Amino acid sequence: MSEFFDRTEDQKYTRVYKKETPDILAAFSAFDNAVFAPEGREIPLKYRELIALAVGITTQCPYCIEAHSQNAVKAGASEGELAEAAWVATAIRAGGGYTHGRLGFKFGAEVEAGHSHTQ
């Protein structure tokens, strides 16, 4: 996915959102600004940015990874905290693979037993 990441050129496509759906863009921007407001939230900004970084790593969004790692550092995160956020994301993705793999065994066993969801 990172081959599509072009920090300079990609920003010009925001104009489509501005032209076609300015109300939704404004609502999204207000929502995003509220989520990442520097003050007034229960979870400190540094931790919200580390959460966002981990989610960005999990969803493999290069834009999120760039923005939220930089914002986390600006909010006081250390390289060690960035590393741990990355490992948390890695563990969650691996856990998903593990648990979804069990579904393969479950569905395979159903076929062996003569049952199938596709019949």
In a domain, 67, yes or no: yes
Q: CB of 56 within 8 A of CB of 65?
A: yes
Structurally, the chain folds into a number of domains equal to: 1
Would you state the pLDDT for residue 1? Answer: 52
In a domain, 88, yes or no: yes
CATH number, domain of 72, equals 1.20.1290.10
CA-to-CA dists, residue 114 to 87, 105, 111, angstroms:
41, 14, 5
In a domain, 49, yes or no: yes
Range of the domain at 43: 36-112
Amino acid identity of residue 10, one-letter, is: D
**23 band by pLDDT with thresholds 50, 70 and 90:** very high
Model-level pTM?
0.81
Q: CB of 90 within 8 A of CB of 57?
A: yes
In a domain, 55, yes or no: yes
In a domain, 8, yes or no: no
In a domain, 75, yes or no: yes
**Nearby residues of 88 by Cβ (< 8 Å), 6 or more positions away:** 54
